[in-house]
Structure 1
Amino acid sequence: MARTVGHVDAAIVGTGPNGLAAGVILARAGLSVTLFEARDTIGGGLRSTALFDSDVVHDICSAVHPLAAASPFFREFDLAARGVPLLAPAAAYAHPLEAGPAGIAYQSLDRTCERLGKDGSRWRTLFGPLVERGDAVADFALSDQRRPPGDVVAALLLGAGTLAFGTGAAARLFREPATAALLAGVAAHAAGPLPSLPGGAVAMLLGHLAHARGWPVPRGGSQRIADALASDIEANGGRFEQGRTIHDLRELAEAKVVLLNTGPAGLLALGGHLLPSRYRRRLQAFRYGPSAAKADFLVSDPIPWADPGVGEAATVHLGGELSEVFAAETVVAKGNRAEDPFVLVADPAVADPGRARGGRRPVWAYCHVPPGDPRDAAALIQAKIERFAPGFGDTVLAREGMPATALAAYNNNYVNGDIAGGSVDVRQLLARPTPRLDPYSTPLGGVYLCSASTPPGPGVHGMAGYHAARSILRREFDIRQLPDLGP
């Protein structure tokens, strides 16, 4: 067995956003904290690097962060005050069509409704009340799902919108194809069959955030978020051991508390032999969802969208009309390849011009594929972009594909390339990863979970780490008051 770790109050395995958020809270509460990272660079899904050009930063996994802007943890942590402003473009996201104008969701609700024409009033009816209660909606959606909502009206509004776009009624909600497609592209972030209640919930949450706080990118790349969190941990006495793989929970036997920023598969690998058989079987039954296949591009010019308005958005959904988006996502959710898959494109330099250096800029994109698909989808993704942006290929200076299998190898939490940490369906939202009063605790005394496989699920929000740290402080150290998280 590998060498054991010496005494520490809290040992955190994994330095993704949830592990880092938990580290911030526990270190600020006065605990001795050590974080272990198998790779040489911290950050998990927040990592950034120079792929093709030493001057141009590419985000390896996550690039655009509406949930970071809305998260109660990050609102208090205040990234901007720490030199990491979140930059929101004028248009949060766009959805071009091959026939007719693109759907564009501006941060301005008024401007969005004006562009949507006949559907403008319906869009306002759907999102206006949610925007007015934006922080309360985010607080409810990003809660531990074990307490009554602080704002019941906000919860009811989110529920009503979920029913409106999470059922067969979605196809009848709007008059214009561009409007329906615009929201269908947001629902596709749920990576599952559509329409569905999880898809409707994601559409309402991310859709209203477009007008509340925008869909921003962090200045300089996602790694800057991880670095700000790490700096705060170290400033409060926390330590990092990078390039250190933990193979067995027994290596951490001298830690009073162990917090795993891993999914069920990670816990089984580290301590399956120690778990009660019933709990182990439940973890083994945890279901993972569709995967992602990613492509990174180094380009010489902004993407030449056929509809120039699309260029105001840093996030663009390519999937055709609502029926096409729903059909493609449902095919993939059934374990098959879609002939024309949904593609999400991120062009961070739209919001952060500093990401473009010497005329070169990063473009990031992925499509949904069946679990463990080994196919390099870079050529497919480039062709899809070219359909809506003729001449895009002429701007590509370099390209690299990252199949689902490569994503799985890159991050053990991305089982089979599932970047959501597990299927996002009704059952696994309510009991994630297993039915348990405290979803962060495990039957092993002092061992907790805090990954995207726990509530509130996927996304860069830090709230799984926040809730897990709160549970640890209360249950293990009898600390009821969370520390101040401000700069």
Structure 2
Amino acid sequence: MIITEPSLPFESFIERRALSLYGGCVQPDAVVVGTGPNGLAAAVTLSRAGLKVALYEARKTIGGGLRTEPLFDVDIEHDICSAVHPMAVVSPFFRQFDLASRGVNMMHPSVSYAHPLHNGQAGLAYRDLEATCAHLGPDGDRWRRLMKPLLDHSRELVDFIMSGQRSLPRNPSAPALLLSRMLAHGTALAPGRFRTEVARSLLTGVAAHAVGKLPSLASGAVAMLLGHLAHGTGWPIPEGGSARIADALARDITAAGGIFHTDHHVTSLDELPRAKVVLLDTSPRTLARIAGDRLPVGYRRGLARFRYGPAAAKVDFLVSEPIPWANPAVGQAATVHLGGTQAEMFRAETAAAAGIRTQEPFVLLVDPAQADPSRARPGRRPVWAYAHVPNGDTTDPTAMVTACIERYAPGFTDTVIHRRGVSGAGLHAYNPNYVGGDIGAGAMTLWQSLMRPVPRFDPYRTPLTRVYLCSASTPPGPSVHGMSGYLAALSALRHEFGIRTPPDLGPLPINR
């Protein structure tokens, strides 16, 4: 059932501290709370439409999941959350924004991702589709038949998945291709689609990016989206780290007159200056908390029913040399999936989704210096890895993740200079949008992929007048694509300002 409740007045409770919070200057037209990729994308879009925008960030630095900081050595920067960005080069928002023109150089490894197995074999997803098919031997033709049609319709497929899913697609061929492959690889049929374990595990490792039960229709969709991009635009790493993307977005906002307020934890909508619209790059739980009893009971109940998925438990490493993979070919990839066979990943991911902790979870590892040599120094390079664990898990993952890497890279432990573990609960403490450590901002079930956070015709509008939700807890969901913020901003421009033509997001003359 689609929830449609009357809007409630908002302006009555945001008048009090307007001038003091905006530096005594002209009041903003729009306020954005949270400066993750979606909050920044929303602010870019509103600023380009001619609005004065103020942004509020709880931490001292902006970026949310796009932060890059030194942890152990001032010369080595680590990506605190996300590191690899296949969606940042293909989403409609970033295609218009054009990161390359802003000086953000995306670095591509020749192997988009790798998947080692216990017997020394490894699956390699080369950026070149034909090289991948040749590597897969008896499953090469099957892999080609799976991926080639998706590559031929990549733009239509990406645009369909990245839309708000509230209108019919212009071209039904892409959804049809996606649906047929979701049914084949996101159901109990999946184990029979390939002959070899190398091919089965190679695709299942991508499906595990859905961070939930395997197999599932939602994980099948994720596997098709990210899997085909591995052979197209690739899985790139921003030169210098993920913060370079946030920096480019922030420069555009400030060039258009936007103002950032960092180190300001918003606990109530009362704290915000009077504005014509407020966009919240927050979790539904935070929306309910800072809005309080102003939200209608039905909407609050809908937010309370929103489910969160398994957690990521992360370990950052400073190592002395490249990872000593048992299969040296794995070292060609910056992204490595450590999960064993398809059956082992099915068990581990399903257990985590059910709240059961295992000693051999799925682990995703990123070696950024493999694609971007500037990230390393002689005898020092950053590596991070995270395991999928039950939501809210408080266990330090350091020993578990280290042991997992050691299984596929004997001698890895001897290369470790420093390490730091952050549990799922610790990740939540670092970023409240990751409820219980859920970096996907909500369980990736098929229903929640389409109807997050509650079923509404416009998922970005809340029942509060002029208050919008723009986080990854709205469609199209997680990943660094900016589309949740962009679509929320377009909705706000239509409903609050009567602006129906999307603004130009290309580089401002001052940035050229």
TM-score band (shorter)?
Answer: over 0.9
Q: Which residue of 1 aligns with 2:306?
A: 286
359, 362, 370: which is aligned to 1:339? Answer: 359
Which residue in 2 is equivalent to 1:459?
479
SS in 2 for 1:8: coil
Matched, 1:126 2:139: no
Q: How does 1:59-208 map to 2 (within 5 A)?
A: 59-208=79-228
Structure 2 residue identity aligned to 1:24: V
1:218 aligns with 2:231: no
Map 1:184-333 onto structure 2 (within 5 A).
Answer: 184-252=204-272, 254-333=274-353
Secondary structure (helix, strand or coil) at the match of 1:168 reads: coil
Question: Shift of residue 358 of structure 1?
Answer: 2.5
Comparing 244-253 and 158-167, the one that deviates more = 244-253
The 5-angstrom pairing of residues 39-54 of structure 1 reads 39-54=59-74
Q: Of 469, 482, 492, which residue of structure 2 is paired with 1:472?
A: 492
User: Contact 2:472–2:478 at 8 Å: present in 1 too?
Assistant: yes
Deviation at 1:359, TM superposition (A): 2.7
Tell me how far 1:54 sits from its aligned partner: 0.3
Distance between the aligned counterparts of 1:253 and 1:484, measured in 2? 27
Whole-angstrom distance in 2 between the partners of 1:485 and 1:69: 14
Q: Deviations over 1:210-238 (max 9, x none)?
A: 01110000010001100100000000111
Q: How big is each residue's C-alpha offset from its partner over 1:90-149, in whole Å with a ceiling of 9 and x where there is no partner?
A: 001000001152001010000000000000000000000101111211111111111112
1:252, distance to aligned residue in structure 2 (A): 2.5
CA contact (8 A) 2:323 2:412 kept: yes
1:384 to 404, 407, 410: 404
Count, aligned residues: 487
For normalisation by structure 1, the TM-score amounts to 0.98
Distance in 2, matches of 1:294 and 1:253, equals: 37
Q: Distance in 2 between matches of 1:340 and 1:151?
A: 42
Contact kept in structure 1, 2:313 and 2:421, CA below 8 Å? yes
SS of alignment partner, residue 139 of structure 1 = helix
What amino acid is the match of 2:69?
Answer: T
Code of the residue aligned with 1:234 in structure 2: it is: T
Report the CA distance between 1:449 and its aligned residue.
0.3
Residue 250 of structure 1: CA displacement?
Answer: 2.0
Report % sequence identity: 60
Aligned position for 1:402: 422
Distance 1:26 1:295 in 2: 37
- How big is the shift at 1:150? 2.7
The equivalent residue for 1:431 is: 451
Distance 2:108 2:92 in 1: 18
1:467: how far off? 0.4
Question: Residue type matched to 1:235 in 2?
Answer: A
CA drift at 1:158: 1.3
Instruction: For 2:292 and 2:440, locate their aligned partners in 1 and report how far apart those are by CA, in whole Å.
Output: 22
SS at match of 1:255: coil
Paired letter, 1:484: D
SS at match of 2:334: strand
Match of 2:18?
5
SS in 1 for 2:109: coil
Residues 407-455 of structure 1: per-residue CA shift (max 9 Å, x gap): 0100010111111101110221121000101000000000000101000
**Corresponding residue SS for 2:189:** helix
CA-to-aligned-CA distance 1:187-216 (integer Å, 9 cap, x gap): 111111111000101000000010111000
Render the CA deviation track for 1:319-361: whole Å, top value 9, x for unaligned: 1110000110001110110231000000011110100123311
Distance 1:293 1:354 in 2: 27
Counterpart amino acid of residue 362 in structure 1:
P
Contact 1:295 1:378 (C-alpha < 8 Å) held by counterparts: yes
| Aligned equivalents of 1:100, 1:381: Cα separation in 2 | 19
One-letter amino acid of the structure 2 residue matched with residue 399 of structure 1: R
Q: Give the structure 1 partner of residue 10 of structure 2.
A: none
Partner of 2:502: 482
User: Does the CA contact (< 8 Å) of 1:38 and 1:244 recur in 2?
Assistant: yes
- Alpha-carbon distance, 1:53 to partner: 0.5
2:510 equivalent in structure 1: none
Kept in 2: contact 1:286–1:422 (CA 8 A): yes
AA matched with 2:126: Y
Q: TM-score scaled by structure 2?
A: 0.94
The Cα shift of 1:86 comes to: 1.2
2:120 and 2:326 in contact (8 A); partners too? no
Partners of 1:76 and 1:437 lie apart in 2 by 26
Query: Counterpart of 1:93 in structure 2: which amino acid?
Result: Y
Structure 2 regions of 5+ residues with no counterpart?
A: 1-12, 20-26, 508-512
Instruction: Give the structure 1 partner of residue 6 of structure 2.
Output: none
Deviation string 1:131-178 (CA, Å, 9 cap, x unpaired) is 111121111111111111232111111111111110011000000001
Contact 1:272-1:280 within 8 A present in 2 as well: no
Counterpart CA distance in 2 for 1:12 and 1:313 is: 37
RMSD: 1.2
Which whole-Å deviations, capped at 9, do the CAs of 1:64-102 have from their partners, x for residues lacking one?
Answer: 011112211111111111111111110010000011520
Look up the SS of the partner of 2:276 in the other structure: strand
